[in-house]
Copies of this chain bind each other. A is one copy, B any other.
């Protein structure tokens, strides 16, 4: 009996082992299936091989395999404006009945008339005003519920898709491929940290504790005997440009070995990442596909890619040509 059980265990175990090996072989056969063969795809495969091959001079232990990803324009689309701004505008409409004064106050009056262009003419200051009016004044728990409800239902005006269906299929494969190779993947975005966290785990496989973003201040207080965190109309941190290495240091506490972005807002993150010792990897997604997505770079007011594109040449960062390098843009419709 003992011997039979032993053999049964050994048999099951070897079966499991063989199955896991064939799964590994299947994976190894074609990583990044939505990427065309070319220098961009190859540079990713080469880098991962370089840092994961035991005994190689560039081997990096698992605990140090940190990869950081910008979100807007790198993991999902960002046109014709940041998706968080669509969220904010929907919030303005929803909150309007509680704010009769908005009918006569800019930028809210224009927004409520549907004239987004006039409303946003004031630039960053105006956008900040809209963000504060729509993102503060509730508890963190309430805000999470608001974001979850919106992201589950709101549709992009041009594609008619859910915003979370406008993530890039090739980047989803890249995230998974890096994690399969022992990397810990983080988002480091100029977007609001609490706007992203409610859905990044389901969509990208990135848990809330691996999301870094811009934030407003919160305050702990007791409400009816229950502790809550209240969101205040006060900027805490802007996670963009020079802020990205600062945010990475604050949240992660070590330098990534790979960084992925798409705009000049990611320049300092990629500089910081690639100037560490040992093998390093920097990548820019270049929006070149006006048919399947949007085409923009040096002159764009959203996701402007100018200095970073020049620096990619001199520093040897990978530049993804979306039109050439990606077989598909978005995941197949469900």
A-to-B contact residues, CB < 8 Å = 6, 9-11, 13-14, 17-18, 63, 66, 140, 184, 193-194, 197, 201, 207-211, 215, 218-221, 226-227, 229, 236, 242-243, 245-246, 249-254, 268, 271-272, 275
Contact = CB atoms under 8 A, between A and B. Distances in A.
Given A17-B9, A209-B251, A271-B227, A218 B194 contact: no
Contacts of A6: 14
A25 to B, nearest CB: 15
A333 B104 CA distance: 73
Contacts of A219: 242, 246
Given A66-B209, A220-B272, 15 more contacts: A9-B17, A10-B10, A10-B11, A10-B13, A14-B14, A184-B209, A193-B250, A209-B209, A209-B210, A209-B253, A220-B246, A227-B271, A227-B275, A229-B246, A236-B250
Given A9-B14, A211-B253, A254-B209, A245 B229 contact: yes
29 contacts: A6-B14, A9-B18, A10-B10, A10-B13, A10-B14, A63-B201, A63-B207, A66-B209, A140-B249, A184-B209, A193-B253, A197-B254, A208-B253, A208-B254, A209-B210, A209-B251, A215-B250, A218-B246, A218-B250, A219-B246, A220-B242, A220-B243, A220-B246, A220-B272, A226-B275, A229-B245, A229-B272, A236-B250, A251-B251
A143 to B, nearest CB: 11
Contacts of A211: 253
A220 B275 CA distance: 13
Tell which of A197, A209, A242 has the most Cβ of chain B within 10 Å: A209
Nearest to A270: B227
